[in-house]
């Protein structure tokens, strides 16, 4: 049986939205939860932060998801976030129908300095609420 986490990954990788154009994020760089620090960029991580009944009958679930677009520059992170917004679409993914997707927030994280004077990768975060049926 498919999980909502699998369905969200399939939603993000369906079609060629993330992997087309520039910057390009191959499907193999779309990961749940985190990415390894030394892995190639750009990349996308996602998490399903909550799950609950959205109807009194319990037939529809509501989940909040967070998708982080990670790139070397803020410009590329924002370009990937725009692709993520396009990829967040209704449909059936891994047998799980997603009936509605509402983007609730988009944020460019402030630049951070790593070890020594190195810049950490830029991150654009997209938060959405999805309504789905198990």
Query: Does residue 33 belong to any structural domain of this protein?
Result: no
Q: Which residues of the chain have pLDDT under 50?
A: none
Helix axes 4-13, 74-87, angle to 10 degrees: 110
Query: Does residue 36 belong to any structural domain of this protein?
Result: no
Q: Could you tell me the residue range of the domain that residue 72 belongs to?
A: 4-19+42-132
The structure tokens listed for 84 are 């993520």
Q: What is the pTM assigned to this prediction?
A: 0.90
In the prediction, which pLDDT does 114 show? 64
CA distances from 10 to 78, 86, 97 (A): 21, 14, 12
Based on the structure, what is the number of domains in the chain? 1
Contact residues for 37 (Cβ-Cβ < 8 A; gap 6+):
none
Contact residues for 76 (Cβ-Cβ < 8 A; gap 6+):
23, 42, 122
In the prediction, which pLDDT does 115 show? 65
Closest by Cα among 95, 92, 90 to 129? 90
């Amino acid at each position: 049986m498919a999980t909502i986490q699998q369905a969200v990954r399939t939603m993000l990788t369906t079609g060629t939205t993330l992997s087309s154009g520039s910057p390009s994020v191959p499907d193999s760089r779309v990961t749940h939860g985190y990415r390894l620090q030394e892995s190639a960029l750009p990349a996308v991580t996602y998490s399903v932060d909550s799950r609950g009944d959205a109807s009194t009958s319990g037939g529809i679930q509501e989940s909040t998801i967070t998708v982080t677009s990670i790139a070397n520059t803020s410009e590329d992170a924002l370009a990937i976030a725009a692709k993520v917004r396009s990829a967040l679409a209704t449909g059936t993914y891994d047998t799980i129908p997603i009936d509605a997707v509402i983007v609730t927030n988009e944020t460019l994280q402030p630049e951070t300095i790593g070890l020594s004077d190195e810049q950490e990768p830029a991150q654009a975060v997209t938060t959405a609420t999805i309504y789905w049926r198990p």
